[in-house]
Structure 1
Amino acid sequence: MDDYLDTNRANWDDRAAAHATRTAGHGYGVQRYIDDPALLSEVVRFDRERLGDIAGLRAVHLQCHIGTDTLSLARLGAHVTGLDFSSVALAEARALVQESGDAVEFVESDVDGALSVLAPASFDLVYTGIGALCWLPRIDDWARVIAGLLKPGGRLFLREGHPILWTMDETLDDDLHLRFPYFEQSEPLEWNDENSYVETDRPLTATKTYEWNHGLGEIVTALLDAGLVLTMLVEHDSVPWEALPGQMVERPDGEFALGARAGVAPLSYTIQAVKPA
């Protein structure tokens, strides 16, 4: 399992440097957050109504990458800590908030080690953004970490790519093709790809990754087994990147939805769950 983690970390180190580029039209467009102190990331803007008022809450953003969603939560008034296993991503995140002036703390750890670097039962909000859970081999372990981090009465907010989407072969653009496991497997899928999910100004060099899917029922059950109470489950017909090239249309808010097959499958979902007081 450590080999999988190390390989994925090398890939995310490489991606972080490419995603944080200041080259126009590439990466995450980080200069925008420096130029506009009120700007929120597209992901957080999509979530804002469901997030509600988070001003004054102590929040942790798990798998925070280079911190654009993390600083967006801070701009909504939360006291935010970002956690990620990539030292390169955290260096880019710290450089970004130093320039943007946002008060965010960043901590290095994988998700399984979060309770050893963060105070247990100390957070009002645990936030996990899209594209995170597929890097975790065991969803039960993830749910136990969530429950351990939350204060009594605290809540989880998760928006994630739908497990149905992760079963689809994105290289086939004539229709939707379910090719990969929906349910969690002990062995991961292995990928080798020099491209990222956003435009970059160079190909990746650490190209190998390992991923695991987790069925929606497995995720919900893991949270319930960890003692949390489910308060929201909403499925969405869009995702914030062109997950299936050639088959999607971009909406004005930056989300991508199916074109000819509109409404055939859910593409993402939002879950909220509360730790009982």
Structure 2
Amino acid sequence: MEYLEVNRANWNARVPVHVGSDFYDVTGFVAGRSRLRPFEREEVGDVSGRRLAHLQCHFGLDTLSWARLGAEVTGLDFSDAAIEQAAAIAAKCGVPAAFVTADVYDAVEALGAATFDIVYTGFGALVWLPDLARWAETVAALLKPGGFLYLAEFHPFADIMDDATGTTVAYDYFNHGPHVWEEPHTYTGGEILDHQTSVQFQHGIGDVVTAVSGAGLRVEFLHEHDHTLFQRYPTLVADEGEYRFPEGSPKIPLMYSLRASAGGAGPAGSAGGMTSR
């Protein structure tokens, strides 16, 4: 199966559903709401005047959230429908931003060999990529010396637990796929999709760190988080827009964030050394 064209058709079908969904709340975003999570803003730091590339940006709400904080942003996604919506939302918000349609592996050429202070990749991106080493090499080529990658992702450990409670191992952590899914609806609900097939790939934490370090980037930190952005399991409890296991119950990592710097002097305010929490 040609994963790229299958997934492109699937995501082009998702775009109008997502734009109209309560999950993304485009109306609230245009009115000024940010899509970034507090820990992302804290871990990335001040972006004022810094060039930021957002790979796999979907229709650009996270990208534009960084722009509202002062970054000079460029968003890239393989879905032409998503990029069209991103440009329209940017214009509606009056936020300067550039958006480019391209596969992430073609990002260096598509962005004209430009380099950036920050390369950002957000939630739900890596499962669409078969080759993490190639992705990390692309990131490294986009970074200025002293710039950094910031990745915020759903934790792969959460995907091996049972769907009912999230407390029992039910799936193979090392089964990288490809995994072919037939799903009539996207994760925001809404109308039935015209293209329902998607192809995904599972990557462990070790795969991510190995790819990043293998591309010559220095890992500054890897933070694991005990909450997520949606009700991944029925047992999770909503807590001010986050979802956690109930108080007193065992917890597993549900999200993680990683920052890694390019060669040269480390970025100002970097954590220094690899840490975990």
> After TM superposition, is the score higher than 0.5?
yes
- The 1:114/1:188 distance shift into structure 2, 3 A limit, reads same
- Superposed displacement of residue 218, structure 1: 1.2
User: Which 5+ residue runs of structure 1 have no aligned equivalent?
Assistant: none
- Superposed displacement of residue 156, structure 1: 0.3
- The 1:116/1:136 distance shift into structure 2, 3 A limit, reads same
- The 1:80/1:184 distance shift into structure 2, 3 A limit, reads farther
- Superposed displacement of residue 260, structure 1: 7.1
Give the 4+ runs in structure 1 shifted more than 4 A: 260-263
8 A contact 1:184–1:215 mirrored in 2? no
For residue 196 of structure 1, the aligned residue among 186, 201, 205 is 186
* Rounded Cα–Cα distance in structure 2 between residues aligned with 1:81 and 1:47: 18
- Superposed displacement of residue 239, structure 1: 1.4
* Rounded Cα–Cα distance in structure 1 between residues aligned with 2:248 and 2:55: 33
8 A contact 2:217–2:260 mirrored in 1? yes
Task: Provide the residue aligned with 2:274 in structure 1.
Answer: none
* Rounded Cα–Cα distance in structure 1 between residues aligned with 2:166 and 2:224: 21
* Rounded Cα–Cα distance in structure 1 between residues aligned with 2:68 and 2:119: 16
- Spell out the pairing of 1:1-277 with structure 2 (5 A cutoff): 3-21=2-20, 26-36=22-32, 39-41=33-35, 43-120=36-113, 122-170=115-163, 173-183=164-174, 185=176, 187-200=177-190, 202-244=191-233, 246-252=234-240, 254-259=241-246, 262-277=249-264
* Rounded Cα–Cα distance in structure 1 between residues aligned with 2:136 and 2:175: 14
- Superposed displacement of residue 206, structure 1: 1.4
Q: In structure 2, the residue corresponding to 1:32 is in which secondary structure?
A: helix
8 A contact 2:158–2:166 mirrored in 1? no
8 A contact 1:247–1:260 mirrored in 2? no
- The 1:168/1:62 distance shift into structure 2, 3 A limit, reads same
- Superposed displacement of residue 121, structure 1: 5.9
* Rounded Cα–Cα distance in structure 2 between residues aligned with 1:262 and 1:91: 44
- The 1:272/1:90 distance shift into structure 2, 3 A limit, reads same
- Superposed displacement of residue 178, structure 1: 3.0
* Rounded Cα–Cα distance in structure 1 between residues aligned with 2:167 and 2:181: 20
* Rounded Cα–Cα distance in structure 2 between residues aligned with 1:152 and 1:184: 35
Deviation per CA, 1:143-185: give whole Å up to 9, x if none. 1111111011110000101110122343xx1453433332363
Q: In structure 2, the residue corresponding to 1:227 is in which secondary structure?
A: coil
- The 1:247/1:149 distance shift into structure 2, 3 A limit, reads same
Aligned residues between the structures: 264
Q: In structure 1, the residue corresponding to 2:192 is in which secondary structure?
A: coil
* Rounded Cα–Cα distance in structure 2 between residues aligned with 1:79 and 1:230: 24
* Rounded Cα–Cα distance in structure 1 between residues aligned with 2:4 and 2:170: 24
8 A contact 2:220–2:260 mirrored in 1? yes
- Superposed displacement of residue 196, structure 1: 2.1
Identity %, equivalent residues: 40
* Rounded Cα–Cα distance in structure 2 between residues aligned with 1:114 and 1:261: 45
User: Which 5+ residue runs of structure 2 have no aligned equivalent?
Assistant: 265-277
TM-score, normalising length: structure 1: 0.90
* Rounded Cα–Cα distance in structure 1 between residues aligned with 2:175 and 2:151: 18
* Rounded Cα–Cα distance in structure 2 between residues aligned with 1:137 and 1:261: 38
